[in-house]
Structure formats: C-alpha cells, structure tokens
Amino acid sequence: MKFFVDTAEIDQIKELNDLGMVDGVTTNPSLIAKSGRDILEVTKEICDLVDGPVSAEVVALDAEGMIAEGRKLAKIADNIAVKVPLTWAGLQACKTLTDEGTMVNVTLCFSANQALLAAKAGATFISPFIGRLDDINIDGLDLIEDIRTIYDNYGFETQILAASIRSANHMSDCAKIGADVATAPPAVIKAMANHVLTDKGLAGFMADIEKAGIKIL
Ligand code: G3P
C-alpha cells in the first residue's frame, strides 16, 4: 500500500519524505487554508519535494471552471493530480482532464456507486472518506471493501485512495482490505510506530542497561 501524506505543511512532508515514507501528497482547501500559504506557491514547493503524485483541489463548482482550474494546476508540475469533487460536474471535469493526460483524484466519495462512476470517468484515484463515514456511524472500511470488490470484478485501474484516515488502525485495516493508497495526517503515520509493549520492553532494557552499566560508545 502506498502512503500519501495528507497535509500542506512542508516541514512535516520533508521529515517523512526523508524516511522514504511518502509516495505522494494530498491537499484540500481546508489544508491549504490551514497552511496560510498561497495555493500555487505551496503546491509547487510540495511537487518539487516529492516524486509521487501531489493532489491539488479545484475550487470551482461547475465543470467548465474545474477544467480551467485543473489545467492551470496541471501546469505546476508533471506530478500534479487534479482533485475534483464527486459531483456530476466533477465527473465531467474528470473525464476531460483525464483525456488530456492529467492525473485526476475524485474526492468526497461516500458510496460504492460514486466510486463506480469515477472509475467509468477514468479517474486515476478515487478518495473514499472513511473517517467521515465513521463519524455518522457508517463503517467507512466497509466502503473500501465494496469498492475493492467492484473494481476487481471489472478490472478498473482507478486506484483506491483511502482518505479521512483518523487512526493507525485505519491504516492497517486499509492495507488488509487492499486499498492501493492511504492518505493520512503525519501524526497518524507516526502513531503507527507506537505499541505499549515496545515502550514496556524498552523501559525494561533501559533499567538493565543502567544496572549493568552497559556502554557501546
Ligand atoms: O484529504 C481529505 C481528508 O483526508 C479529510 O480528512 O479528517 O478532514 O475527514 P478529515
């Protein structure tokens, strides 16, 4: 499973990228607003930093506007994936931009039918939001599973990009189901390293190291 990092914070992307943990980056208008940076400027900086796809989201609501914005975003770098919402207009924009050779990430997906439409429109990525489904007591992981089944049934090449990931468990659950990509905030990716027995074991080793005065350097 590829790891995308869901942030527009350059320092945090760099830290994970230096460790080889970043296969791509996703941003959205809320993350850009949080960064306080100009969308074109910060997106260019992220594209220069990472090799993989960098999702940048359109702000128009109509297909024509999304296509024009998508074309402008695509000019930033070769690794841009234009992010469009899963609306009828978004699907129209997806088809046009895909036909022009631009990667498209169709976002705000909350149903298997929406994912089926995105694949038919040629999306490079479909972004089902699992955390936001969990928020309303619908199991977001069931949706990832349904989309996996549907795409495999028909050999759709659209990659399942699990989004709205809120916990380390979401990451391993998505990997078990076979999501192609999971995008998560840096804190969630770091939390994957945590285990209470690792902490306990290390505390035990440290006590013995101190008792025996073990030194290596
Ligand atoms: O990039 C979209 C996304 O991952 C949103 O996450 O936590 O705001 O639902 P969240």
Report how far ligand 1's centroid is from the alpha carbon of 141 (Å).
15
Ligand 1 atom closest to residue 185's alpha carbon, by position in its atom list: 4
Q: How confident is the model at residue 72 (pLDDT cuts 50, 70, 90)?
A: very high
pTM of the predicted model as reported, rounded to 2 decimal places: 0.96
Q: How confident is the model at residue 135 (pLDDT cuts 50, 70, 90)?
A: very high
- Ligand 1: residue of 7, 126, 132 to mutate (most ligand atoms within 8 A of CB) is 132
Looking at the structure, give the CATH architecture of the domain made up of residues 2-192.
Alpha-Beta Barrel (3.20)
Position 162 scores a pLDDT of 98
Q: What average pLDDT does the structure give for the chain?
A: 98
- Ligand 1: residue of 109, 129, 130, 143 to mutate (most ligand atoms within 8 A of CB) is 129
Residue nearest to atom 4 of ligand 1 (CA): 164
86: nearest Cα among 134, 120, 54 = 120
Spatial neighbors of 105 by CB under 8 A, at least 6 apart, are: 26, 53, 55, 81, 82, 83, 84, 123, 124, 125, 126, 127, 161
Ligand 1 atom closest to residue 27's alpha carbon, by position in its atom list: 1
- Ligand 1: residue of 3, 5, 6, 26 to mutate (most ligand atoms within 8 A of CB) is 6
Q: How confident is the model at residue 133 (pLDDT cuts 50, 70, 90)?
A: very high
Report how far ligand 1's centroid is from the alpha carbon of 165 (Å).
7
Position 115 scores a pLDDT of 98
Amino acid identity, position 37: R
Position 20 scores a pLDDT of 95
**What are the contacts of 8-14 at 24+ separation with CB within 8 A?**
8/32, 8/34, 8/35, 8/37, 8/42, 8/43, 8/46, 9/35, 9/186, 10/42, 10/45, 10/46, 10/49, 12/186, 13/46, 13/49, 13/50, 13/186, 14/49
Position 85 scores a pLDDT of 98
Residues with CB under 6 A from ligand 1: 6, 26, 28, 129, 131-132, 163-164, 166, 183
Domain ranges of the chain: 2-192
How far apart are alpha carbons 142 and 163 in whole angstroms? 14
Q: Which of 44, 75, 83, 211 is catalytic?
A: 83
Is residue 83 part of the annotated active site? The answer reads yes
The pairing of beta strand 24-26 with beta strand 103-109: unpaired
Report how far ligand 1's centroid is from the alpha carbon of 183 (Å).
9
User: Is residue 25 within 8 Å of 51, Cβ to Cβ?
Assistant: no
Q: How confident is the model at residue 212 (pLDDT cuts 50, 70, 90)?
A: very high
pLDDT tens digits along 1-14: 999 999 999 999 99
Residue nearest to atom 5 of ligand 1 (CA): 164
Amino acid identity, position 31: L
Report how far ligand 1's centroid is from the alpha carbon of 129 (Å).
7
